[in-house]
């Protein structure tokens, strides 16, 4: 298969982790005789620095022409501390999602048996957690009208949703539930918000079209508690933009590190794949950033094109790296010399030689092995 992939590494740790994902995709292309081409483009604080614009025209153009987009992370501490800044790195990502119509954001939360002890939650509560979060990505409070009074003392963000926006993602979430444990939970705040009541009405009306899916409802405050109290009760969660942002970050506690969660952002014409974590500028260029979320985003990219064996091989490599503790410091207590690049190298090597890497790596003196 020929795929033209736009690569937007972004800010902070973005470039380091995305380099590993790109490396892994190149190994897959070699192994399976695909032709993947990669076109890099600027976004975020690094784009502001070079062009004054967090989403330069050239970047939109490259993304529009690409078959898929691999996105790193965005944000910069200087902007975080300046609430007066009019041009902000995050505008790059938000405009990109909006202009490409990426309205469905899918965030899988799967607990790895080998990592249960990395979570601050109890093992028995989290083992076998397997949740798919469907987060609406181009509507709601993020994109509603924003106002700031002339005296700077009053501000508002409107949370608006239309039936159309709710229906199109809800159909996808119902269908996802049908192919899983057939349970869909709509998370909202219908006891306080009109927009949430619209979500409830629309989703209730749709339910008869999916009679084999058990639909239930949960308020966001309660869901925030239930998610870490008893995550196994969830199968597919459907929710609006901001609730999905918050819940998915909370869900990373179940898995042991936010450095493990990947996501797909899909629209009618375009598809983008990204880790859910941010730019974490403090950790940039230290080799400590976990590249697994980006590598799993690359696997989701392959899923999207039906390249199932290819995606499965990446996931096998990830599983193996976790089993053998070939992981960055956010997860490792065993070795202290595993860098971002070494994790990428290990998974690349696994893809090139899945059989040879069955060697028992724990016996290899890490750092001297040619493999890592
Ligand atoms: C995410 C991020 C973004 C969001 C930020 C960077 C604007 O937190 O993708 O989860 O809020 O959507
Ligand atoms: Mg977030």
**137 C-alpha to center of ligand 1: Å?**
10
Q: Whose CA is nearest to atom 7 of ligand 1?
A: 90
Q: Clarify whether residues 280 and 228 are in a common domain.
A: no
Taking the CA of 93 as reference, the closest ligand is: 1
**271 C-alpha to center of ligand 2: Å?**
18
Q: How many CB atoms lie within 10 A of CB 246?
A: 14
pLDDT of residue 357: 60
Question: Per-residue pLDDT for 370 more than 50?
Answer: no
Write the CATH number for 344: 3.40.718.10
Q: Clarify whether residues 279 and 210 are in a common domain.
A: no
Q: Clarify whether residues 225 and 280 are in a common domain.
A: no
**246 C-alpha to center of ligand 1: Å?**
9
pLDDT of residue 333: 81
Total-model pTM: 0.95
**367 C-alpha to center of ligand 2: Å?**
34
Question: Per-residue pLDDT for 285 more than 60?
Answer: yes
Atom of ligand 1 nearest to the CA of 274: 9
> Per-residue pLDDT averaged across 137-162, rounded?
98
Nearest CA to 79 among 87, 71, 67?
A: 87
Q: Clarify whether residues 114 and 255 are in a common domain.
A: yes
Q: Clarify whether residues 348 and 219 are in a common domain.
A: no
Taking the CA of 94 as reference, the closest ligand is: 1
pLDDT of residue 356: 75
Q: Clarify whether residues 18 and 87 are in a common domain.
A: yes
pLDDT band (50, 70, 90) for residue 371: very low
pLDDT of residue 169: 98
Nearest CA to 65 among 85, 41, 45, 93?
A: 41
Sign of CA dihedral 55, 59, 63, 68: negative
Taking the CA of 280 as reference, the closest ligand is: 1
**319 C-alpha to center of ligand 1: Å?**
26
**26 C-alpha to center of ligand 2: Å?**
28
pLDDT of residue 332: 87
Mean pLDDT score across all residues of the chain: 95
d(CA 198, CA 166): 9
User: Total structural domains in the chain?
Assistant: 2
CA distances from 173 to 107, 202, 239, 318 (A): 12, 13, 10, 27
Q: What is the pLDDT of residues 298-339, one digit of tens each?
A: 999 999 999 999 999 999 999 999 999 999 999 988 898 999
Q: Clarify whether residues 98 and 108 are in a common domain.
A: no
Higher pLDDT, 78 or 226: 226
pLDDT of residue 292: 98
Candidates 103, 245, 297: which one to mutate for ligand 1, based on the most atoms within 8 Å of Cβ? 245
Of 266, 288, 319, the one marking the end of a domain is 266
pLDDT of residue 355: 84
Of 232, 266, 300, the one marking the end of a domain is 266
pLDDT band (50, 70, 90) for residue 369: very low
Q: Clarify whether residues 89 and 142 are in a common domain.
A: no
> Per-residue pLDDT averaged across 198-212, rounded?
98
> Per-residue pLDDT averaged across 81-97, rounded?
95
Using CA atoms in the order 310, 314, 316, 318, what is the torsion angle rounded to 10 degrees?
-170
Q: Clarify whether residues 1 and 91 are in a common domain.
A: yes
Q: What is the pLDDT of residues 226-255, one digit of tens each?
A: 999 999 999 999 999 999 999 999 999 999
Of 204, 235, 266, the one marking the end of a domain is 266
Candidates 77, 93, 137: which one to mutate for ligand 1, based on the most atoms within 8 Å of Cβ? 93
Q: Which residues line ligand 1 (CB under 6 A)?
A: 74-75, 90, 93-94, 245, 276, 278
Q: What percent of the chain has pLDDT over 90?
A: 92
> Per-residue pLDDT averaged across 333-351, rounded?
95
pLDDT band (50, 70, 90) for residue 361: low
Q: Clarify whether residues 189 and 313 are in a common domain.
A: no
pLDDT of residue 51: 97
Q: Clarify whether residues 200 and 165 are in a common domain.
A: yes
> Per-residue pLDDT averaged across 27-43, rounded?
98
Taking the CA of 79 as reference, the closest ligand is: 1
Q: Clarify whether residues 87 and 137 are in a common domain.
A: no
Q: What is the pLDDT of residues 91-129, one digit of tens each?
A: 999 999 999 999 999 999 999 999 999 999 999 999 999
Q: Which domain holds residue 205?
A: 103-266
């Amino acid at each position: 298969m020929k795929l033209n992939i736009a690569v937007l590494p972004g800010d902070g740790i973005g470039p380091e982790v995305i380099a590993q994902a790109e490396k892994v995709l190149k190994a897959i292309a070699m192994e399976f005789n695909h032709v993947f081409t990669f076109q890099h483009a600027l976004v975020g604080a690094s784009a502001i620095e070079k062009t004054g614009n967090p989403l330069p025209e050239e970047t939109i153009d490259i993304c529009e022409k690409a078959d898929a987009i691999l996105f790193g992370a965005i944000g910069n501490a200087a902007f975080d501390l300046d609430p007066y800044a009019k041009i902000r790195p995050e505008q790059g990502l938000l405009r990109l999602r909006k202009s490409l119509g990426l309205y469905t954001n899918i965030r899988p939360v799967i607990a790895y048996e080998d990592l249960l002890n990395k979570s601050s939650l109890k093992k028995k509560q989290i083992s076998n957690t397997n949740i798919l979060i469907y987060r609406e990505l181009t509507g709601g409070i993020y994109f509603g009208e924003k106002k700031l009074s002339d005296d700077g003392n009053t501000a508002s963000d409107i949370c608006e949703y239309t039936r159309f926006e709710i229906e199109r993602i809800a159909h996808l979430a119902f269908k996802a539930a049908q192919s899983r444990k057939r349970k869909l939970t709509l998370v909202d705040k219908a006891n306080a918000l009109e927009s949430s009541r619209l979500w409830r009405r629309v989703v209730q009306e749709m339910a008869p079209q999916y009679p084999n899916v058990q639909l239930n409802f949960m308020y966001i405050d309660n869901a925030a508690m239930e998610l870490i109290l008893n995550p196994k009760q969830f199968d597919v969660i459907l929710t609006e933009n901001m609730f999905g942002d918050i819940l998915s970050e909370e869900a990373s506690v179940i898995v042991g590190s936010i450095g493990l969660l990947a996501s797909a952002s899909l629209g009618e014409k375009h598809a983008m794949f990204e880790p859910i974590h941010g730019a974490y500028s403090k950790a940039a260029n230290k080799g400590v950033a976990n590249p697994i979320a980006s590598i799993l985003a690359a696997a989701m990219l392959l899923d999207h094109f039906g390249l199932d064996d290819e995606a499965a091989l990446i996931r096998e490599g990830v599983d193996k790296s976790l089993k053998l503790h070939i992981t960055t410091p956010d997860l490792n207590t065993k070795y202290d010399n595993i860098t971002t690049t070494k994790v990428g190298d290990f998974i690349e090597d696994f893809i090139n030689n899945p059989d040879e890497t069955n060697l028992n790596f724990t016996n290899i003196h890490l750092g001297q092995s040619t493999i890592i």
